[in-house]
Amino acid sequence: MLSIARSELIQLFRNRLVLLNSFLIPLGACAFFVYKHETFTELRSLGYIAAVVVCTVAAFGLYATIVTTLASRRQTLFLKRLRSTPASDAGILSGLVLPVTVLALIQVTVILVVLTAVAGKPANGLLLAAAVVSTVIMMLGLGLATAGLTNSPEHAQVTTLPVSLGAVAVTNWVGITGTEELTLLKRLLPGGSATELAVNAWNGGVPVAESLPLLLPTLAWVVVAVALASRLFRWEPRR
């Protein structure tokens, strides 16, 4: 798995398009929110900025990159060749997605540290970490599922739009309007409960016991995504 991950990391830094999607787009958007944190604090809260940062990196830096990478490796028959090695299917997929997952976590951590330095620390760091990890796992699972529907790297530009843009839209909706109205709907949508959890973790004021159940909808999406991936994922190009 580690040898596959090392090779994938090298390929990641050689591919300018993937590098753009993985770093520049999410970092640019997040830098804007951090720079304008005072303006957005007046509108809602710092927790909203933290949630947007997490979702933006997870949607564009992680999810879209995973789908593009797996579609590319399938198209070049690299996935098929890897299956002829002693590596297990789980080991192959883990090696392929590990570099971009680690890089996404590093990006989120760095940006949140910068936000903490310029605007103050979150009320509950552990709860915020739980929101970050659950979001990353959810987008990772959805990436594997979407890769099964994606025939090529070019096709990934289309197949990733509904989930990536939808998750960012849900995050902004929940982050700005809260969950006082349409509570169940907002929490069940992908990213909705994770956004509320991140907001609670940063702003405080909500008991931990009341915030922890917000992990359940996100973890449910993980289960759904894994089930879809097991049915939809293909190791060879569709004939």
Question: Residue 27: its pLDDT value, please?
Answer: 64
What CA–CA distance (Å, rounded) separates 156 from 114?
32
Residue 233 Cα distances to 80, 135, 163, 227, angstroms: 13, 21, 17, 10
Question: Residue 195: its pLDDT value, please?
Answer: 93
CB 33 within 8 A of CB 106: no
Closest CA to 195 of 140, 137, 134: 134
Looking at every residue in the chain, the average pLDDT score rounds to 84
**For the chain, domain boundaries:** 2-232
Residue 58, amino acid: A
Token pair in block for residue 23: 């770093």
Q: Which residues of the chain have pLDDT under 50?
A: none
Number of H helices, E strands in the chain: 15, 0
Q: What angle do CA 34, 201, 184 make, to 5 degrees?
A: 105
Question: Residue 67: its pLDDT value, please?
Answer: 92
Token pair in block for residue 58: 């997870």
**Structure pTM?**
0.87
